[in-house]
Amino acid sequence: LIAARGALSEHGQEPAQPPPANASLLGDCAGFDCYLRYVALPDAHYTWRDTGMRLQGRDNDTGAAWTGHVLNYTSQKWLSEEEVSHPIWWHLLVVVVPEQVEFADWATVHLSFGYFDGNMTQHHIASRAPGDDLDAEVLQTVGIDENTLPDRALEVKGASALAAYVAVRTRAVAACLLQVYSGYQVFRDDETGMRRHQDPLLAYSRQRFIRDPSRPELLAELPAVKAVVRGLDTVVAHSGGRVKRFGLVGYSKYGAATFATAAADPRVRALAPSSIGLGSPPPPGADAGAALLQTLGRVSPA
C-alpha cells in the first residue's frame, strides 16, 4: 500500500468523506522508509515498569526451572484522541529467565496472540475487554488490563509457554510480548462505531490510508513494528544492558511484524516468522485459487 501512494492519489476514487485535516508526520516517504521514519520518531510516551508479578515454572522434559517477570510498557501514542479512542498503546511483556543462563547477551522474543486452554483452543489476549460477543465467544478473546492482571496469572503464564520452552533450551532469556496491536479501538470517523482489534483494526486503518495516502502513519502496521522495537528496548533495559541481540518469533500478522521489525532493527539477528499452511490451496480455476496464485506467485491462473 505504501509503495502505491502516488498511484492511489492520482487514480483512486474520490474519498467517501474528507480525510482528516492532519499533516503527515513522516514527510514524503515511500515504501519501507515509512516504517523506518515512524520507528525513529521521538515519543515521550515510552515508559516501562515491573508489575511485581512473578510466574514460576519447570520444564517437563529438561527439569529446568524458570521465572517470568511480568512487565508493563507503553510503546507510543498512535494518532490522536480526535481519530482513535485509545491512542496510547501499552503492552504486557513477560521476560522469562531460566535457572541457567549461559548466553547473557541474547533474548528470543515471541510475539504472542495469547494462550491455549486444555482443549487446545486458542484465546487471544487484548488490552481491553472484547467489543462484542463475536470476539468474546467466537474468537475467544479476553481483555487483560492493570485491574484484571492479578486475576489472570494463569492466562499470562499460558501465553508465555513458548518463551519458557525456548529459554530453558537456549539457556538464554526469552520473552513473551502480548497485545502487539493495542486493541480495542474505535475510529472516530467509523460510522459503525465498531470496537476493532487485530484484523478489523488493520482493515480499517488501510481503508483510511487509501482515502488519504499522504499519511502513511494511518497504517496500523507501522505502530505495530514500533511496539515490537520498544519491546526489545524494554528487554534490554530490564537486563541492565546485558541483552544486545535478539531472535524474533511471530505467527500470521505477527509473522509480518517479525519480518518488518527484523528489517528495521539491526539488533534482530534471527527470525522465525510463520503463517497459515498452504499445502492444498483451492484449484486455480476457482476465484479464490486464482487470487491466491496471483498474490503469492505472481503467475497467471491459466
Domain boundaries, the chain: 2-297
112 within 8 A of 100, measured Cβ to Cβ: no
pLDDT for the residue numbered 228 = 99
Task: Please give the Cα distance from 147 to 300 (Å, whole number).
Answer: 53
Q: What would the CATH number be for the domain defined by 2-297?
A: 3.40.50
Lowest model confidence (mean pLDDT) among 80-84, 115-119, 232-236: 115-119
pLDDT of 252 higher than 80: yes
Closest CA to 254 of 237, 273, 235: 273
Residue with cell 511485581: 52
Question: What is the phi/psi pair of residue 60, to 5°?
Answer: -65, -35
| Mean pLDDT value across residues 60-81 | 97
Pairing of strands 114-116, 141-143: unpaired
108 against 278, higher pLDDT: 108
DSSP characters for 124-160? EEESS--SSHIIIIIS-EEE--TTTGGG-HHHHHHHT
Cα distance between residue 62 and residue 143, in whole Å: 33
The pLDDT of 149-155, averaged and rounded, is 95
Exposed / middle / buried, residue 153 (Cβ in 10 Å: 0-12, 13-18, 19+)? middle
Mean pLDDT to the nearest integer, 136-159 = 85
Residue-averaged pLDDT of the chain:
86
**Is the preceding omega at residue 251 within 30 degrees of 0, hence cis?**
no
- Sign of the Cα torsion 296, 138, 114, 132 reads positive
Query: Looking at residue 237, what is its pLDDT?
Result: 99
Give the pLDDT mean for 223-241.
Answer: 99
Q: What mean pLDDT do residues 51-63 have?
A: 96
Report pLDDT for 25. 87
* Beta-carbon-side half-sphere exposure of residue 182 (alpha carbons within 13 Å): 26
The answer, yes or no, to whether residue 174 has pLDDT greater than 90, is yes
- What proportion of the chain, given as a percentage, has pLDDT over 70? 80
CA-wise closest residue to 35 among 285, 199, 251, 223: 223
- As a whole number, mean pLDDT of residues 142-170 equals 94
Which pLDDT score, from 0 to 100, does residue 291 have? Answer: 46
Tell me which range, 113-122, 221-230, 290-299, is most confidently predicted by mean pLDDT: 221-230
Tell me what pLDDT residue 292 has: 41
Helix intervals (H) in the chain: 5-11, 33-40, 133, 153-159, 161-170, 199-211, 221-238, 253-264, 287-297
Confidence label for 208 from pLDDT (cuts 50, 70 and 90): very high
Cβ atoms of residues 175 and 190 within 8 Å: no
Percent pLDDT > 90 in the chain is: 67
Give the model's pLDDT for residue 283: 52
pLDDT at 14 over 80: no
Nearest CA to 20 among 215, 269, 201?
Answer: 215
DSSP state of 282: P
Distance CA 128, CA 288 (A): 34
84-143: per-residue pLDDT in tens? 999 999 999 999 999 999 999 999 999 999 998 888 888 889 888 765 555 555 567 888
pLDDT in tens, 18-48: 444 567 889 999 999 999 999 999 999 999 9
Q: Could you give the CA distance from residue 206 to residue 277 in angstroms, rounded to a whole number? A: 25
Sole residue written with cell 511484524: 257
